[in-house]
Structure 1
Amino acid sequence: MAAYDDFAALEKRGWADADTAAAYATDFARASEMAVPTLVAESAAGPGKTVLDLCCGQGIVARGLLDAGARVTGLDFSPAMLAIARENAPEAEFIEGDAMDLPFEDGFFDAVAMGFGMPHVPDPPAVIAEARRVLKPGGRFAYSVWLAAERSAFTYVFAAIGAHGAPEVTLPPGPGATDYGEEDRAFAAMTAAGFGDLRSTEVYSRWTIDDPGAPFDFFVEGTVRGAAMLRPQPEANKRAIRAAVVDKVLANHGETAPFDTPIPSVVISGTAV
């Protein structure tokens, strides 16, 4: 993990910003929340179950777990996100903590759910191992992550950065944002951590937008990885990147609003054995 220390610091610093957290919760999360029903179902959360919402963000997964009847604890490294989560899901308990070093006893939870946390941790296999440690045998772990896909707002934005971004603007080394949506990699890490009955369930998550440049705006205002690549760009480069995103949305999703713009995701799940 030492090689990814700068990435970890970027993520922690970025998500501590209240404006970034609020922008994510308002706009970007319109796609994230579409995975919540699948996360709840694949975690087997239900009445009487004690469930951990890992990397809980603004609490939309906690809200879904509570609505299913579960008793919920949420954990995140971002105080800004936790403040929003406490408003969205006041019945849950929320604590600040490290997903790679959970402050819970072995076998404490009936289920663990994690909504789009994998892109924000420097060592995803360590997080998967910790999820297994705190699960009771037979408990379910389910996590959502973005899929690498040609028709995805994620691809539109980062391809535009690659084509039009200033070469001196770079990210620190870290795991790829879609790495653990790849079934081979995900299942290998889950198996190594002690999970079986592995499943991969795709979710057609998307944004319905009136402005074809909105994906650029959502990434620059409401993410950390994207913002680190977009905010420092010279103004001419920013304009070119946004224009390329607009062109891609119009080419793939029609020329008149609203634009149904996919940012597909997948839920990976398994049973603690």
Structure 2
Amino acid sequence: MAAKLLTILLVGALCGAAVAQNCGCASDQCCSKYGYCGTGNDYCGNTCQSGPCYSSGGNGSSGGGSSVADIVTQAFFDGIINQAASSCAGKNFYTRAAFLNASNSYSQFGNDGSANGTKREIAAFFAHVTQETGHFCYIEEIDGASHDYCDSNNTQYPCVAGQKYYGRGPLQLTWNYNYGAAGNSIGFDGLGNPGIVATDVLISFKTALWFWMNNVHSVLDQGFGATIRAINGAVECNGGNTPAVNARVGYYEDYCSQLGVSPGDNLTC
């Protein structure tokens, strides 16, 4: 009997470990130390495994002791999205919880070893998101379906008939080669089902962070102007669209001020 009980306990422990490794929680829930899904300190506190964890459980702990979750507070996030009209599609789509959950997949985001560097990267990211989505109003590019974003010369990520690769998500992911590469990295059919970026908020934020880490993160030390060039330089820089550049800079300076960090030099492109 004792041997049978020990077997049951061992099996139960193994099952518990399996659950703890893969909670399968919703995007706005945390996976606790014991493998349960929920919100609040018991789930999102120091022993949190995944999801929008607090402080040490969250992504991006910097040399200054601040994590992405510490800096992107609900108040900071709400300060952006609350400027969108209630009729905006993004108002009921984008959430801080989904952003934090997505950021856990990109450990180098906001993690350059200094508190100021973390704050500047976060301010820069949300400045561009604000410009691209109109304070989280838009999930999809306005009249995006009327534009042709298929690069037929890109044979690695060929366009799929009937699909459109216009801007979607926080950084308005565009072009077949970006959808294909993002899908391969994140784990969705970017070429065959690009529309999921506008319907799954976790994938949506992950595409924005994927683009950021692959195209923008490496130029942060060159100043905010370099991030503009990396995101939309061909259209906006060198006099292409000065009002848009100025708007991005304005958002960046505002968010830096909110986070208590200087914006640095080389702000425009």
TM over 0.5: no
TM-score per shorter chain, which class? under 0.3
TM-score by length of 2: 0.26
Higher relative contact order (CA 8 A, sep 6+): 1
The structure carrying a bigger helix percent of its residues is: 2
Larger radius of gyration: 2
The structure carrying a bigger strand percent of its residues is: 1
